[in-house]
């Protein structure tokens, strides 16, 4: 540039603008050092400048990592991202490499360099980027490396883009399948897409698109069959991405067309694999600057948009059917019902109804719920959806007939489903019909649930009662048998008391037998259960009294020297105590046992008998002169027991 | 065992004494003469009062009745005994006592005009061995009495004699496997009473008593018994004449223990 030219006012102006602009954008700086994006951490080298504290990448960019130590000792995950940015947009040639390598640790010296062989997988993506979008041919390869050489390619996709929109031919292949197809300039799938299987047994098929609309699928195997997809009576179409949603939509459409399912997932698998690789790069680029790196494979589908009323109806359907499903699953899995249905005809009948309703209504509507989840309802005619749910016909019938007798296959009973009289199945729209069916079914199931749960609760209570009754009878028998068994050895004195325990225990059962109400019965049974335990305890305590008296007799003696016989003789000591116990307290106890057998007092009485015995036992070695004097006059058993207790618990000396 | 040896020595000395003092003043009949048996009733109380772990007070009062012409067995009071001693419990199997006796002798000779009542004094000591055998008890009792007696005549002098007594006795429980309260027992016993002293010339066998009683143990502290006794023995005045008697015997045995409970406990085990 010579000075004369600078006199040109235009050029001068340009120079000034350039000068200012460069000062405005600031001076680019170079960064070279550690850097991390997502899970990738390594060394980065790049140029940038700052705009209001934001980093703007400009110029060459390189980020890499490889670790020899790790490679030799274990395994190294290396990567290399290299390209350039312009005003923060990735632009120009880019290369992405990801490697997972191991080494066999053999090395050789070549040209003053140590070389080691590596084994592993290397992914490499190469292509141009324009304003953050893939532009031109992008090739993504996954290579298996063995002894530092490519052994095989397990994935390869070649797609040509124009500012992010796929163009012309593309191919995606993995080890099993290859998909080849083409796009229109606007990215819509067009013409023939072919899927080849590298496996001889696999399916080869052609997908024939016309301006983004899949017309048919040509299966190229022994069947050699053409499956029509969209016939396109509806002119209203929508452009969507070729993704899982689209594949679900085709699936539904093929089913609606009455064709066999051809779904095998091969195309989906390839597209998904490709998508995942592109996402990886998009993730890196989005973290560095501005970009949209996902390939936009587009297709067209017939479009039947949902209005707000329909959306409302769909929500009602989902809500009702989910509720129905919950009820039916809970009841069909209920162990009690499952056992009961084997013997109880009514339970059998309800189980069958629930089962039938689930098959006839809940499961089909659940398919509709699934279509909604897949967001494909908009792509098929409503009426067709309705028909797809019920293969035969829309179940407008209001009754269900099922077997109702455990012992007879032929016996059947009809259940009337909930219906709304005002609703017309002939004049309503498809969604309205589904919604109405879902709501009716929900109400029917809720009603059945109430009946069944009540029945199960009742059954449970009855079962509980039966088992309680068995225990009651058993307990009563135990009490009776125990008392009968004492007859052989017990002194007559104790017989009336024991017999009255036996009688009282039986009497409880008779009282129980007169109660009609199940709730009261359960309550009474539980109280008798506790009571019987107390009775048995009292019977045992009573039977034990003579044993206790015996033991007291043995204990209340002292060895006395009889000088006339020159022998030691047992002398009964503290007779006032043992007499009061034998002659007053025990008869009192026996009287109590006979007359005072209120269940609540039984336990207390048992306790008292045992406690008094223990008191008397303790008195043997106590200073009891005063007590003995008091006992001489005392005839009241309660006072005596009290005295016993007091003296037994005083400290001597 | 030492005590046993001492007793034997004393016994043998006593017997030697009697043989040395033989006199032949009275004429002995060619054959022994047995008098008709007289009848008597003895009502004896035996007290045995514990005073310490090993010592007890022996207190016995015996009422002895003799027949009269009109009334057999209980016609008149013959003797009243007051026998006291301090006993020592060596073990369950051996005990010994030493004490005195005041016997009041009533003149039972209905025709006599002499004194009606004279005292007799004794010092006595006894050694009793108790041997359990099966359910019964066997007793060997050695009793030595030193007695001073006087006749019913006015101003008669005291005569000193020794008595040598051995008694063999069984107590057999009848309704129990051992002697314990509420038990009946039968007690056959035989006692040989020998005597010595200046006045004893040809009548060393004072008395041979064969007795059987039926007893009932009311409590360890109270026993009653009753039985019959046959006895015979040489008359002091003439060794050739034998007196005989039948006696009804009624016994009351009591053994109170007034010690405080605290002293009584633990129970008496003596040395076992």
Question: What is the predicted pLDDT for the residue at B271?
Answer: 46
**Strand, helix or coil for residue A323:** helix
pLDDT > 70? residue A152: yes
Q: Containing H/E element for A328? A: helix A308-333
Query: Which of the residues B215, B220, B251, B259 would you substitute to probe the A interface, choosing the one with the greatest number of A C-beta atoms within 10 Å?
Result: B220
CB A284 within 8 A of CB A123: no
pLDDT > 50? residue B24: no
Burial environment of residue B171 by CB neighbours within 10 A (0 to 12, 13 to 18, 19 or more): buried
Q: How far apart are the CA of A561 and the nearest CA of chain B, in angstroms? A: 7
Q: How far apart are the CA of B170 and the nearest CA of chain A, in angstroms? A: 10
Mean pLDDT of chain B: 86
Question: What is the predicted pLDDT for the residue at A109?
Answer: 78
Please count the other Cβ atoms lying within 10 Å of the Cβ belonging to residue B62. 18
- Torsion sign across C-alpha atoms B23, B28, B32, B33: negative
pTM higher than 0.90, yes or no?
no
Could you say which of B92, B264, B269 has the minimum Cβ distance to residue A566? B92
Mean pLDDT of A220-249: 77
A542 pLDDT band, cuts 50/70/90, is very high
**Cβ separation B221–A562 shorter than 8 A:** yes
d(CA A105, CA A75): 11
Mean pLDDT of A452-471: 84
pLDDT > 90? residue A645: yes
**Which residues on A lie below 8 Å from B181 (Cβ)?**
569-572
**Cβ separation B180–A560 shorter than 8 A:** no
Mean pLDDT of A22-37: 70
Cβ contacts of B86 within 8 Å, gap of 6 or more: B55, B56, B57, B58, B97, B98, B99
Which residues are paired to B55 by β-bridges? B88
User: What percentage of chain A exceeds 70 in pLDDT?
Assistant: 90
CA–CA distance from A322 to each of A37, A416, A445 (Å)? 43, 22, 12
Give the pLDDT confidence of B179-197 residue by residue, as tens digits: 989 999 999 999 999 999 9
Give the pLDDT confidence of A486-498 residue by residue, as tens digits: 888 888 889 999 9
pLDDT > 60? residue A91: yes
Q: How far apart are the CA of A600 and the nearest CA of chain B, in angstroms? A: 44
In this prediction the ipTM stands at 0.85
Mean pLDDT of A549-570: 89
pLDDT > 90? residue A587: yes
């Amino acid at each position: 540039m010579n000075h004369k030219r600078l006199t040109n006012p235009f050029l001068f102006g340009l120079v000034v603008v350039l000068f200012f602009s460069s000062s405005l954008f600031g001076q680019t700086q170079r960064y070279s050092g550690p850097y991390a994006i997502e899970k990738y951490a390594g060394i980065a080298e790049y140029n940038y400048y700052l705009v209001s504290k934001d980093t703007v990448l400009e110029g060459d960019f390189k980020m890499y990592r490889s670790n020899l130590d790790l490679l030799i000792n274990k395994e190294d995950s290396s990567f290399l991202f290299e390209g350039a940015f312009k005003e923060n947009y990735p632009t120009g040639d880019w290369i992405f490499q990801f490697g997972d390598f191991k080494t066999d640790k053999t090395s050789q010296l070549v040209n003053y360099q140590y070389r080691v062989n590596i084994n592993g997988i290397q992914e490499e993506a190469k292509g141009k980027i324009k304003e953050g979008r893939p532009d031109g041919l992008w090739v993504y390869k996954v290579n298996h490396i063995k002894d530092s050489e490519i052994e095989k390619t397990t994935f390869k996709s070649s797609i040509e883009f124009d500012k992010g929109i796929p163009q012309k031919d593309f191919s995606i292949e993995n080890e099993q399948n290859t998909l080849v197809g083409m796009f229109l300039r606007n990215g819509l799938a067009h013409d023939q897409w072919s899927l080849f299987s590298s496996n001889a047994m696999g399916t080869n098929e052609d997908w024939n698109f016309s301006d983004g609309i899949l017309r048919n699928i040509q299966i190229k195997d022994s069947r050699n069959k053409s499956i029509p997809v969209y016939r396109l009576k509806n002119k209203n179409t929508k452009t969507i991405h070729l993704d899982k949603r689209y594949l679900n939509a085709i699936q539904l459409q093929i089913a609606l067309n009455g064709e066999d399912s051809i779904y095998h997932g091969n195309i989906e698998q390839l597209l998904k694999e490709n998508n995942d690789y592109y996402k990886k790069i998009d993730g890196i680029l989005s973290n560095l600057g501005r970009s949209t790196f996902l390939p936009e494979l587009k297709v067209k589908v017939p479009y039947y948009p949902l209005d707000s009323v329909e959306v409302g109806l769909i929500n009602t359907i989902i809500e009702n059917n989910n509720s129905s499903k919950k009820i039916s699953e809970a009841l069909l899995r209920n162990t009690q019902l499952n056992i009961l249905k084997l013997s109880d005809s009514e339970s059998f009948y309800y189980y069958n109804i629930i089962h039938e309703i689930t098959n006839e209504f809940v499961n089909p509507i659940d398919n509709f719920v699934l279509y909604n989840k897949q967001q494909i309802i908009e792509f098929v005619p409503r009426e067709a959806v309705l028909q797809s749910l019920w293969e035969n016909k829309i179940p407008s019938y209001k009754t269900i007939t099922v077997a109702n007798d455990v012992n007879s296959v032929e016996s059947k009973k009809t259940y009337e489903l909930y219906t709304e009289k005002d609703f017309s199945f002939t004049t309503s729209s498809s969604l309205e019909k589904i919604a109405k069916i879902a709501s009716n079914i929900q109400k029917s199931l809720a009603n059945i649930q109430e009946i069944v749960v009540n029945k199960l609760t009742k059954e449970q209570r009855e079962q509980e009662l039966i088992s309680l009754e068995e225990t009651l009878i058993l307990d009563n028998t135990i009490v009776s048998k125990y008392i009968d068994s004492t007859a052989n050895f017990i002194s007559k004195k104790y017989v009336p008391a024991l017999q009255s325990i036996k009688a009282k225990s039986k009497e409880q059962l008779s009282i129980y037998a007169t109660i009609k109400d199940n709730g009261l019965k359960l309550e009474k049974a539980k109280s008798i259960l506790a009571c019987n335990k107390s009775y048995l305890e009292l019977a045992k305590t009573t039977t034990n009294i003579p044993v206790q008296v015996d033991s007291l007799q043995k204990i209340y003696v002292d060895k006395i020297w009889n000088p006339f016989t020159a022998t030691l003789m047992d002398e009964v000591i503290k007779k006032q105590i043992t007499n009061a116990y034998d002659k007053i307290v025990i008869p009192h106890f026996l009287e109590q046992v006979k007359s005072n057998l209120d269940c609540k007092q039984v336990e207390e009485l048992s306790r008292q008998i045992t406690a008094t015995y223990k008191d008397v036992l303790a008195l043997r070695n106590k200073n009891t002169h005063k007590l003995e004097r008091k006992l001489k006059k005392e005839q009241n058993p309660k006072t005596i027991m009290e005295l016993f207790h007091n003296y037994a618990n005083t400290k001597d000396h | 065992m030492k005590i046993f040896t001492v007793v034997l020595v004393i016994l043998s000395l006593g017997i030697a004494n009697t043989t040395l003092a033989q006199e032949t003043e009275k004429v002995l009949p060619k054959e022994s003469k047995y008098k008709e048996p007289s009848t008597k009733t003895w009502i004896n109380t035996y007290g045995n009062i514990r005073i310490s772990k090993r010592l007890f007070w022996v207190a016995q009062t015996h009422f002895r009745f003799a027949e009269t012409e009109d009334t057999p067995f209980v016609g008149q009071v013959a003797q009243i005994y007051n026998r006291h001693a301090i006993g020592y419990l060596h073990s369950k199997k051996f005990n010994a006592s030493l004490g005195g006796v005041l016997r009041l002798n009533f003149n039972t000779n209905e025709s006599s005009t002499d004194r009606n009542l004279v005292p007799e004094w004794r010092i006595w000591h006894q050694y009793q061995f108790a041997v359990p055998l099966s359910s019964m008890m066997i007793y060997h009792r050695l009793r030595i009495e030193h007695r001073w007696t006087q006749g019913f005549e006015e101003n008669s002098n005291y005569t000193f004699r020794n008595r040598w007594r051995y008694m063999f006795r069984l107590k057999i429980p009848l309704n129990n496997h051992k002697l314990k309260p509420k038990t009946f027992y039968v007690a056959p016993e035989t006692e040989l009473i020998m005597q010595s002293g200046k006045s004893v010339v040809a009548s060393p066998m004072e008395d041979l008593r064969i007795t059987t009683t039926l007893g009932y143990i009311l409590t360890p502290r109270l026993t009653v018994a009753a039985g019959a006794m046959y006895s015979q023995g040489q008359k002091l005045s003439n060794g050739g004449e034998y007196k005989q008697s039948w006696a009804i015997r009624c016994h009351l045995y009591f053994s109170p223990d007034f010690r405080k409970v605290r002293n009584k406990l633990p129970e008496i085990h003596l040395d076992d």
